[in-house]
Amino acid sequence: MPSQKLRHPKPTDLPLHGGRRRVAFVTGAARGIGQAVAIKLARDGLDIAINDLDLSDLEDTKRQVEAIGSCCFLTAGDVTDERRVEEMIDEVVGKLKYLDVMIANAGITYGKAIVEMSAEEMLHVLKVNTVGVHLCYKYAARHMIKQGTGGKLIAAASAAALRGSRVASAYGASKFAIRGYNQSAALEFAKHSITCNCYAPGYIATNMTDWDNLNFPDAAKVKLNMENAIKSLPIDRFGQVEDVSNLVSFLVSRDSDYITGQILPVGGGYHML
């Protein structure tokens, strides 16, 4: 369901080709980092498509994006459903005409000891976090290659893709996998002027780090590990979603055109490369 157009920046103010506005598709955009990214990219002058499991959950993000003056198109769907991902990206291109930026942000967290976790639980985390990124990259890249104007494929990794954590093996494995997958994608798509990069949030204040309200078997242990880790950070505080969206804004910009295959941490010094 397309939204009402409000105001647009002058074409001369926009870092794009052909005088048109660039288009970004952000998954998992109902709240948290995904919402912050959608709003920041709207401020940067892009038109925005947003996704989550339920359309009604996207209304707040839509309102904020449109208030800035960008078009906002909503589409609901599960990023693990290949047919639906293909349909959603086709819908975005059908409504907004182009797709220049894919932000594969949707993901889940999970905390359970290795000796207690079933194969089904492990596979569920991998399917959402890793296969979901693959499907977004796959179908977004097809459109970008067809357009012939390059593009930006950007995935949500994590500090857990740089260093393992207790009671977070499934989550860590899924994020390490994204890191390797993104490097392969960067090699495949460079010839099409498509860059591929990951942002790696550390301890960011979102619903996914609100362990008091997450019903996981070992949530209390994960919360304690997290609190101890934050105390040891050089910048000893929770990060804010804007800390992440500012980095994503750079990766989306033309200033990052010579950067690909990278994972960039936003974690207060949790991991120094």
Burial class (CB in 10 A: 0-12, 13-18, 19+), 227: exposed
Closest by CA to 155, choosing from 206, 125, 195, is 195
Closest by CA to 51, choosing from 64, 65, 61, is 61
Closest by CA to 73, choosing from 38, 107, 106, 40, is 38
Rounded Cα distance, 85 and 81, in Å? 6
- Residue from 139, 175, 181, 203 carrying the catalytic annotation: 175
- HSE-CB at 215 with a 13 A cutoff on CA atoms is 0
- Under DSSP, the state recorded for 129 is I
CA angle 55, 60, 61 (to 5 degrees): 85
- Residue from 98, 137, 171, 199 carrying the catalytic annotation: 171
- Under DSSP, the state recorded for 204 is B
171 is a catalytic site residue: yes
Contact 20, 11 (CB under 8 A): yes
Rounded Cα distance, 132 and 106, in Å? 8
Written as one letter, the residue type at 255 is D
Q: Which residue has the tokens 């309102």?
A: 63
Written as one letter, the residue type at 111 is G
Give the catalytic positions in this structure: 171, 175
